[in-house]
């Protein structure tokens, strides 16, 4: 090989090497760009996840309610009849009776769709209110009537759903009596405390913000922090259920973290265990490691324990300003936790449950009620 040939060869090698370096550099820049873009989207996704419920539904659907397979066809048919989605129908049946076809309310409402006798005579078509196929079909017919009744007064489809749900809970004439203005209706008595949460819970369940059967985020309750543990074990906002004192009642509606943690402490789930206010507070105090000796159930027992324990300062508050996050409020018959400001609204400063009607969730703050004044028990250690 001549010197020129060698030089030419060497130059070719250098050019090829340079080109290779250039290509590799370009590839590295491209990869870095992908990583940066991925980081941006991952950040956005994380922010979005932080705004949604910690517990999301299992399966491919992002909606919160999980419709039992044996009822899916009935639900789909009722949804087509009523003009709402299957998720709305499922969320409402979950709210009404937890998909229990044998349910009977203290007011006499029967079956999976909770029909009373007069309404069943009108919509049941001679069927059996305890037969899920008959009851869900009747539900679809009733929802269609409500839709037709409300549609001329609705601003949009979402507002129509709200009017229909309020009508199902309180009666269409009640909605009409407030000129179809739910803001005004929900300022009044039982409509405020029952119908408003009923509408909000069903909408949220259908949209996936409130879940009745889901894969939770795992992990244990935060150690040593009463407020963080209270929030970990309870839904952020108030959740209301149809009343029932049945064994195990409230399991499906409670936050899965609470179900898992509370049953690890006490597996005797009789008498609406998962809506028991005392069980919730005990689960917080025990699972957080704050007070492993806290009585697991019975507000009378719990009050006596708090009054006689050197670990707590017990006093009667005169106003909310005397409370601190983590304080226990208790009287014979009820107990809940003050958690401090979390969000706007009457359920934004406390967490609690209510036997037979509410799993652990957002709670109103009150220092007395029909049962008398509440004492505050503040953990001081020991």
Q: Contact 360/346 with Cβ under 8 angstroms? A: no
State pLDDT tens for residues 7-18.
334 444 433 444
From CA 264, how far away is CA 345, in angstroms rounded? 33
H or E segment and range at residue 4: helix 3-51
Q: Which residue has the tokens 């149809």?
A: 242
47 membership: H or E segment, kind and range: helix 3-51
Neighbours of 273 (CB within 10 A): 23
Q: What is the pTM of this model?
A: 0.48
Structure confidence at residue 224 (pLDDT)? 64
Please check the confidence at residue 293 and state whether its pLDDT lies above 70.
yes
Whether the per-residue pLDDT at 122 is higher than 50: the answer is: yes
Distance CA 253, CA 269 (A): 15
> Which tokens go with 57?
């539904």
Average pLDDT value for the chain: 80
Q: 336 pLDDT exceeds 90?
A: yes
What is the predicted pLDDT for the residue at 207?
72
Mean pLDDT of 111-116: 93
Backbone angles phi, psi at 147, to 5 degrees: -60, -45
pLDDT by residue (tens digit) across 35-54? 333 333 333 322 222 222 33
Token digits of residue 50: 């932080």
What is Dmax (Cα atoms) for the chain?
A: 109
Question: What is the CATH T-level fold of the domain 69-207, as seen in this structure?
Answer: Lysozyme (1.10.530)
What mean pLDDT do residues 227-251 have?
Answer: 89
**What is the chain's alpha carbon radius of gyration, rounded to the nearest angstrom?**
28
- Dump pLDDT digits (tens) for 347-359: 899 999 999 999 9
| Domain extent listing, the chain | 69-207, 239-379
Sort 207 into a burial class: Cβ within 10 Å, 0-12 / 13-18 / 19+: middle
Architecture per CATH, 239-379: Alpha-Beta Complex (3.90)
Condensed to tens digits (0 to 9), the pLDDT of residues 176-210 reads 999 999 999 998 877 887 888 889 888 887 875 43
**What is the enclosing helix (H) or strand (E) of 378?**
strand 375-379
The CA-based dihedral angle spanning residues 136, 139, 141, 144, taken in that order and rounded to the nearest 10 degrees:
-130
């Amino acid at each position: 090989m001549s010197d020129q040939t060698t030089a030419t060869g060497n130059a070719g090698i250098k050019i090829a090497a340079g080109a290779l370096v250039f290509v590799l550099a370009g590839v590295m820049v491209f990869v870095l760009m992908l990583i940066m873009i991925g980081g941006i989207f991952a950040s956005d996704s994380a922010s979005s996840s932080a705004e949604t419920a910690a517990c999301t539904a299992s399966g491919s659907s992002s909606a919160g309610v999980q419709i039992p397979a044996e009822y899916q066809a009935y639900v789909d048919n009722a949804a087509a009849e009523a003009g709402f989605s299957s998720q709305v129908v499922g969320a409402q049946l979950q709210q009404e009776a937890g998909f229990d076809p044998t349910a009977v309310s203290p007011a006499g409402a029967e079956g999976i769709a909770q029909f009373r006798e007069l309404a069943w005579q009108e919509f049941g078509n001679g069927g059996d209110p305890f037969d899920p196929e008959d009851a869900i079909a009747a539900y679809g017919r009733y929802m269609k009537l409500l839709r037709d009744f409300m549609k001329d007064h609705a601003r949009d489809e979402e507002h129509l759903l709200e009017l229909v749900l309020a009508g199902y809970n309180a009666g269409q004439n009640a909605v009409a009596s407030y000129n179809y203005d739910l803001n005004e209706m929900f300022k009044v008595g039982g409509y405020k405390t029952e119908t408003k949460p009923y509408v909000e819970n069903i909408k949220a369940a259908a949209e996936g913000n409130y879940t009745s059967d889901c894969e939770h985020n795992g992990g244990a309750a935060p150690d040593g922090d009463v407020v963080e543990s209270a929030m970990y074990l309870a839904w952020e906002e108030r959740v209301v259920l149809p009343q029932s004192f049945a064994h195990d009642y409230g399991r499906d509606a409670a936050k899965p973290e609470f179900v898992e943690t509370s049953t690890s402490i006490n597996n005797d789930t009789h008498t609406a265990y998962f809506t028991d206010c005392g069980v919730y507070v005990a689960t917080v105090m025990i699972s957080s490691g704050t007070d492993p000796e806290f009585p697991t159930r019975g507000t009378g027992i719990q009050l006596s324990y708090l009054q006689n324990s050197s670990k707590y300062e017990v006093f009667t508050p005169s106003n909310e300003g005397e409370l601190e996050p983590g304080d226990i409020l208790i009287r014979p018959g009820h107990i809940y936790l003050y958690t401090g400001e979390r969000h706007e609204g009457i359920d934004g400063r406390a967490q609690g449950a209510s036997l037979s009607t509410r799993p652990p969730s957002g709670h109103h703050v009150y220092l007395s009620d029909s049962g008398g004044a509440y004492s505050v028990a503040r953990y001081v250690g020991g």
